[in-house]
Each structure stands twice: as C-alpha cells, then as structure tokens.
Amino acid sequence: MMLSPRHPRRPFGFDMTPMIDIVFQLIIFFLFTSQLSQVVRSPIDLPEEPGEAQQAPNPDTIVVDVTLEGVYLIEGHPRTLEDIARLISLEKQAADAKGSGVDLLIRADRSAPAAHINALANKLSSAGIRRWTLGTAKPGSGGGGSP
C-alpha cells in the first residue's frame, strides 16, 4: 500500500515577475509624463530681472509664451488673442466654480516688441482677467530660465 502521492506536491507560490514588470512600466510612464510637462515649454530668451522666486511650479498654471515674432503659444501651439482670452476665461470660470483661482504666467522673449505683450494684456483685461505674472530669468543666468 502506497500512502504517498506519485508526484510530490509543489508548494503554492506567487510569481512576482508580472508584478515587477507592471511596476517598472508605471515608473517609466510617470517619469516620462513628468518630464513631458517641462518639455512643452518653448525655449524663450526671458528678460533678466531679479524677481520673486517661484516656490514650486504649479501644474495648473496656464503658460502663454510670446515669441520674438509675436506669436502666442499655449503648450507649444500657436493661438490667436481671441483664442487665448476665451480659453483663459473658461479656465477662470471652472476655477471659480471650484473655489480656486487661475494662475497665468506670461513668458515673453526679451527682444519681443512690447506691443505684443500690451495687446495680450489688453485682450486679457477686456475678458476680465487682470491678474497674471510675467516670467523672468535670474540675472546672470543667460535668460534661458524657465520660471
């Protein structure tokens, strides 16, 4: 009489290989997307001025870039003044409904004519947006900063 089974039983185990694969994929995804938000900013030669130090970049900040040629960019895409005013007004309404404010950062090339910045400021003011920040670079940094 044989009391032991023919094949020895293998202890039940948990294969960690798929779990490790998923964790590595998530790490790569989050690293890529966090770097992508910094890449979206256009390379602009910012004016060098001692300004208020930015504590931490707010991911909800709307960044409007003004190039040397007077092209207005949001997330790297050219926009008209009307589009910018409409988009920011919609964001402001959504933020007001949540009880928070909207942060607007204007990054203008140091050699861009002031007429482009004035036109943007007038359009924002007529849309009811009167609070925004002008991006600058620290003196001596070459103007390529990303505040």
Q: Where are the domains of the chain?
A: 62-134
The third-level CATH classification (topology) of the domain covering 62-134 is Nucleotidyltransferase; domain 5 (3.30.420)
pTM, to two decimals: 0.61
- Model confidence at 25, pLDDT cuts 50, 70, 90, reads very high
Q: How far apart are CA 75 and CA 133, in angstroms?
A: 17
Residue 41: phi, psi to the nearest 5?
A: -65, 130
pLDDT reported for residue 72 = 92
Q: Taking 90 as the threshold, does the pLDDT of residue 24 lie above it?
A: yes
* Selected residue with higher pLDDT from 2 and 84: 84
pLDDT reported for residue 22 = 93
- Looking from the CA of 65 toward its CB, the CA atoms found within 13 Å total 19
User: What one-character DSSP code corresponds to residue 137?
Assistant: B
16: three-class secondary structure by DSSP: coil
Task: Taking residues 65-74, report their average pLDDT.
Answer: 89
- Model confidence at 54, pLDDT cuts 50, 70, 90, reads low
Q: Using one digit for the tens of pLDDT, what is the confidence trace for 114-133?
A: 899 899 999 988 888 888 88
Q: Taking 90 as the threshold, does the pLDDT of residue 21 lie above it?
A: yes
CB 48 within 8 A of CB 110: yes
Q: Using one digit for the tens of pLDDT, what is the confidence trace for 81-112?
A: 999 888 888 888 887 888 777 788 888 888 88
- Looking from the CA of 33 toward its CB, the CA atoms found within 13 Å total 7
Q: Taking 50 as the threshold, does the pLDDT of residue 48 lie above it?
A: yes
- Model confidence at 146, pLDDT cuts 50, 70, 90, reads very low
Region of residue 79 (phi > 0: left; psi between -120 and 50: alpha; otherwise: beta): beta
